[in-house]
Amino acid sequence: MRPVVHFSSLETERKPHWQRYALDTLFAFVGSMLVTGIIFVWHLYPRIPNISIVYLLVVISLASTRGRYASILASLVAFLAFDFFLVPPLYVFTINRVEEWIALFVFLVTAILTSQLAVALRERAGQAARRERETRILYDLVRVASREEEPERQLQAIVQSIVEVFASWGVLDCVVLQAEAAGTFRVQASAQQLCGQITMSSDEKAIANWVMNHGRTMGLYEDSSFAPSSSAPFTWRILMRTTWGGRVAQRSLLLMPLHVGQKVVGVLRLRMLADPRRLPYEERLEEEDEHPNVRTAFFHTFLDQASSLIERAHLQRENMHIAVLQRTDALRASLLSSVSHDLRTPLTSIKAAASSLLQEDVSWDEEARRSFARSIEREADRLNRLVSNLLDMSRIEEGALKPEKDWYSLKMLIHEVVGRLEPLFEGRTVHTHLPDDLLMVDLDYIQIDQVLTNLLENALRYTPPESPIDIEAHSESDQVQLAVSDRGPGIPAADLERVFDKFYRVLHGHHAVGYPMGSGLGLAVCKGVVEAHGGRIWAQQREGGGLTVRVVLPVGGQERIVE
Amino acid sequence: MKKSGATILVVDDEREIVRALQRSLTAHDYKVYTAANGEEAVALVSQYRPDLLLLDLMLPGMSGLEVCWRVRAESMMPIIVLSVKEAEHDKVEALDLGADDYIQKPFGIDEVLARVRVALRHVAQAPRGSDAQYQAGPLQVDFDRRRVCVQGQEVSLTPTEYDLLKVFITHRGKILTRQMLLKELWGIEAYARTHSLHVYVAQLRQKIEPIPERPRFILTIPAVGYRFNDEV
């Protein structure tokens, strides 16, 4: 499990509005009245004509800490209190002297202007701080997303970050949906639950579909009067109630389209506290197109990131699909050409030999005739073996290969196969090591004959002309083990299992230079037949170089018959 | 029936096929060398300089195409390609690379002997294209005066038809792939004009073939191209 990066939440804790206003009002009154009290008690006013400037201290400090409302209120309260308590005549709001009028109004204007400047400064500083915070969050987002390699996990990271960052907006949960077949959706990523556990009501599905098709945001609210679009043809229903922060809060679902260009690639489902001031409402988001609102623009950055990831995942899947199709196609073509090549090669030899014999302008001597005839016979046998393998292979694939078993002597079978293939040996030695106590085995003679033929033929085909071949068999309790070993180039350890795959040769092109190609069927057929007999077959490197293929066959039945 | 004793190199990885070819060709007084793979073939070509190459395209190691290309880079010896039908693409590629003819597997020995004879005869002929006159059966061509006559009657050919006929006669007996013909007629950038090539061939046949429906001069080699046949 990778370490989880926690995103800092977008906005720190905010008090409800009315509390803020009450505090602002209190501070404005207390501050202004405090200054008034000081001036009043020490009789500072007429002595220091410009003493009203002291109020500016309160106004500026409120402007830079509490905001516009507090500072303007403080200016007004100061203005009135100065007039009421300090400017003669006292305790009435009338002023006799013109200069005092002027002084007071200049004070009021100065106070308001100063407070505005201070507020503007404060807001700018706040903006800068927020931008900095947002930039850092975006940086974290990109970092987390790019750390994951699969698009699915990147999406998951983004969804999680949306919940963490926008928690202060009331976002409780975030799910990315992708349309599948008509009307159904697949959960791509979810912040709170496992993707598989999420179920959608039919209303949600209908709305998700609408969002998908129209590319517009849509919400499910507790109260239908809240619905942003009264034209929506769905019944809106109460989803749930919960208490949040000590008061009853409504929950709502917001479904937003994820765009890539003009295309909607998915739907983002936000579960959130329905607080109109905090939601990235549809209206606000749409306004945003014309007047980029900083907050929603920031939110949209997240959406864009999610959209592009979905699109990327989609493209990746499509690419993979195409690659698979291409591979299948190439495979089919190469199998077809391989099989036809394998069938035609012995045919070519046969036809060349036969047409040579038939030539009228040449009188062949006896030796040449026999050689052509032998060649025809040998190649016809080869063709026959190939056809048997092809037929067996298709039977194995259909599951139609049923061994017709009987008790046979393995020793006899081995001798017969070796005898039949002798014309192919061409001077090389094939040793057979067969103990006298070899058990009789319950097997399908023709099929096991084919297995041994294939093994021996492979050994002959893929090894140098003079190298020896060893055939060995022995009994082990209730099974018999048979091994064909050569001193050829062997097979890389990584491929020892795959040589039993059908057309392995075709697919991997392992082919010793200088030796004719095989069909790539032989070992696959061996495996199918041996397994149909309840046995096992495997290949292993031979000590001192070369390859050994081992076959284990169960003896079968309860009897143990020693020859 | 006895031949000049030309040297032939047979390249195939199937021992039985090589054996049959070797026996029959030797029986017809050719001197035969054999190779089982491409590397060996290239080495034997530079060692013995055979008069003709019988080349299988599907070889272990170096492919037949590569052998074809290497041999052609050094020598103009006729190359006859042995191929199975499924390797259509390779076959055309081999012809484009300079092979002279191909024989489809499985083949009869008579067919091989006939193709070998034709290929060797064309090599023995005088350098082509330098003749001022050409005659084959009813067809007479006077290259100096750009005159073409069929059974004594002068035939008027368009410049393209005349050029096409000249290309055919220059390479008579050899299979010309569509690519080769296009290149000869219109240069390298003409690869997309296969269709118009067929039209010109059809027109030329109308004018010079005694029976255009059963051509005796310009033979179609299916899926490959054409061959100008001057054997009567």
Write the residue in A347, A349, A512 that is nearest to B20 by C-beta: A349
What pLDDT is recorded for position A6?
58
What is the arithmetic mean of pLDDT over A74-82? Answer: 88
The strand pairing partners of B34, in sequence order, are: B10
pLDDT at A126 over 50: yes
pLDDT at A191 over 50: yes
**Size of chain B in residues:** 232
Name the CATH superfamily, with its identifier, for domain A400-554.
Answer: Histidine kinase-like ATPase, C-terminal domain (3.30.565.10)
User: Given CA atoms A158, A164, A170, A175 in this order, what sign does their dihedral have?
Assistant: positive
Q: What is the DSSP string of B107-122?
A: --HHHHHHHHHHHHHH
Write the residue in A352, A371, A513 that is nearest to B17 by C-beta: A352
Write the residue in A368, A514, A516 that is nearest to B14 by C-beta: A516
What pLDDT is recorded for position A11?
53
Q: How confident is the model at residue A290 (pLDDT cuts 50, 70, 90)?
A: very low
DSSP state of A439: B
Q: How confident is the model at residue A252 (pLDDT cuts 50, 70, 90)?
A: confident
Write the residue in A351, A361, A378 that is nearest to B107 by C-beta: A351
Looking at chain A, which residue has its C-alpha nearest residue B111?
A: A355
What pLDDT is recorded for position B128?
54
State which H helix or E strand residue A222 sits in: none
Q: Which residue has the higher pLDDT, A83 or A16?
A: A83
pLDDT digits (tens, 9 = 90+) for A514-528: 445 566 778 888 999
What is the arithmetic mean of pLDDT over A553-562? Answer: 70
User: Given CA atoms A37, A41, A45, A51 in this order, what sign does their dihedral have?
Assistant: negative
| Angstroms from B131 CA to nearest CA on chain A | 36
Please tell me the least confidently modeled range out of A31-40, A139-148, A413-422: A139-148
Q: Please answer yes or no on whether B106 and A514 come within 8 Å at the CB atom.
A: no
B190-221: b (≥16 Cβ within 10 Å) or e: beeeeeebeebbebbbeebbeeeeebbbbeeb
CA angle, residues B33, B37, B43, in degrees to nearest 5? 60
What pLDDT is recorded for position A414?
92
Q: Please answer yes or no on whether B16 and A349 come within 8 Å at the CB atom.
A: yes
For A402-494, strand residue ranges (E) read 406-409, 430-433, 440-443, 469-476, 479-486
pLDDT digits (tens, 9 = 90+) for A294-347: 667 777 777 887 788 778 878 888 888 888 888 877 777 777 777 777 788 889
Across chain B, mean pLDDT equals: 85
pLDDT digits (tens, 9 = 90+) for A223-237: 433 444 444 444 344
| Angstroms from B27 CA to nearest CA on chain A | 7
A241-262: b (≥16 Cβ within 10 Å) or e: eeeeeeeebbbbbbbbbbbbee
CA A195 to chain centre: 13
CATH 3.40.50.2300 fits B7-124, yes or no: yes
pLDDT at A9 over 70: no
- Residues in CB range of B231: below 8 A, 6 or more apart: B118, B173
What is the arithmetic mean of pLDDT over A26-42? Answer: 89
| Angstroms from A466 CA to nearest CA on chain B | 16
**Set of chain A residues whose Cβ sits within 8 Å of the Cβ of B1:** 361
pLDDT at A182 over 80: no
What pLDDT is recorded for position A506?
44
pLDDT at A160 over 90: no
Q: Please answer yes or no on whether A359 and B87 come within 8 Å at the CB atom.
A: no
Please provide the CATH number assigned to the domain covering A150-291.
Answer: 3.30.450.20
Locus of tokens 């109308």? B206
| Angstroms from A341 CA to nearest CA on chain B | 7
Across chain A, mean pLDDT equals: 78
Q: Select from B169, B121, B167 the least CA-distant residue to B3.
A: B121
What pLDDT is recorded for position A196?
66
pLDDT at B218 over 70: yes
What is the arithmetic mean of pLDDT over B16-21? Answer: 89
Interface test with chain B among A351, A381, A511, by most B beta carbons within 10 Å: A351
Q: Please answer yes or no on whether B110 and A359 come within 8 Å at the CB atom.
A: yes
Half-sphere exposure of A359 (CA within 13 A, CB side): 28
What pLDDT is recorded for position A476?
87
CATH topology of domain B133-228: Arc Repressor Mutant, subunit A (1.10.10)
Write the residue in B85, B87, B108 that is nearest to A355 by C-beta: B108
Locus of tokens 């893929």? A462
Q: How many CB atoms lie within 10 A of CB A352?
A: 29
Count CB pairs under 8 A between chains A and B: 90
Domain with CATH 1.10.10.10 in chain B: 133-228
Interface test with chain B among A338, A349, A375, A462, by most B beta carbons within 10 Å: A349
What pLDDT is recorded for position A245?
41
DSSP state of A4: P
Looking at chain A, which residue has its C-alpha nearest residue B56?
A: A345
What are the extents of the domains in chain A?
17-142, 150-291, 400-554
Q: Please answer yes or no on whether A348 and B1 come within 8 Å at the CB atom.
A: no
- Residues in CB range of B189: below 8 A, 6 or more apart: none
Q: Is the bond preceding B106 in cis, omega lying within 30 degrees of 0?
A: yes
Cβ atoms of residues B19 and B43 within 8 Å: no
For A214-337, strand residue ranges (E) read 218-220, 241-244, 247-260, 263-273
**Set of chain B residues whose Cβ sits within 8 Å of the Cβ of A355:** 107-110
Interface test with chain B among A355, A425, A506, by most B beta carbons within 10 Å: A355
